[in-house]
Amino acid sequence: MILSKEFIFDEFVEKYLDEPLVHSFCKSCENYNLNYSCPVHNDSLVEKYKYYKYITIYIYKDTYDEFISHGDAYLNARTYIDKAIFDFEKESNSIGLIPGKCMLCNPCLKTLDKPCPTPELIRHSLETIGFHVSNIIENEFSEKLEWDSNILHLVFGALSNQPITAEFDDFLKFYI
Ligand code: SF4
């Protein structure tokens, strides 16, 4: 199942940005400060995106069977969602928001203290920018993140200067 909703970006920032709180949650993640797309960043990322007028949020929700781990189900979904996000950027004037860390290299070269080879391809997650994702999905989609079930939730999106939700909805049907 895919759910989507479009917001005026300034209003969305006002309502859901809480960078200090969200990044305090990030500290318990194994990727914290070990991936260039994840915190810690020197500057506030939201400033980088203030150029955009609209933000569209997507929730991908699916179940996976007991023989597959949550991690494998997540990685499998990431392969086609990330491809859809990057392909849609080429068809529109949008920039994608990925559902987690950058996975273009394995491991991220930050773990080896080497520079990112493709900084122009780094995309950020909502959490990395500082958005309170669980509040977004509860308030806007009446959904809840569930960690102790076989339900997979991936939250991603795109920023743009014109409404893109209908176009992105159609585009995603070829991938998901
Ligand atoms: S492109 Fe590679 S080095 Fe750069 S942030 Fe992504 S995973 Fe890390």
pLDDT tens-digit map of 29-77: 999 999 999 999 999 999 999 999 999 999 999 988 888 888 999 999 9
- What pLDDT shows up at residue 144? 84
Residues in the ligand 1 pocket, defined by CB under 6 Å: 35-37, 102, 104-105, 108-110, 116, 118, 121-122
- What pLDDT shows up at residue 176? 83
Task: Output the six-digit token pair for 57.
Answer: 């949020």
CA-nearest residue, atom 5 of ligand 1: 36
Q: Is the dihedral of CA 14, 98, 29, 103 positive or negative?
A: negative
Asked if residue 148 has pLDDT above 80, the reply is no
Amino acid 77 reads: A
Ligand 1: atom nearest CA of 115 is: 3
Would you say 81 and 173 are in contact if contact means Cβ atoms under 8 Å apart? no
Which of the 8 DSSP states describes residue 56? Answer: E
- What pLDDT shows up at residue 7? 98
Cα 141 vs. chain centroid, distance in angstroms?
16
pTM, two decimals, is 0.94
Q: Helices 70-91 and 165-172: crossing angle, nearest 10°?
A: 130
Cα 76 vs. chain centroid, distance in angstroms?
15
- What pLDDT shows up at residue 111? 97
- What pLDDT shows up at residue 146? 73
- What pLDDT shows up at residue 83? 97
How many whole angstroms from 104 Cα to the centroid of ligand 1?
Answer: 6
- What pLDDT shows up at residue 143? 87
Would you say 45 and 122 are in contact if contact means Cβ atoms under 8 Å apart? no
How many whole angstroms from 105 Cα to the centroid of ligand 1?
Answer: 5
The domain in which residue 74 lies consists of 2-172
Would you say 101 and 35 are in contact if contact means Cβ atoms under 8 Å apart? yes
What total number of domains does the chain contain? 1
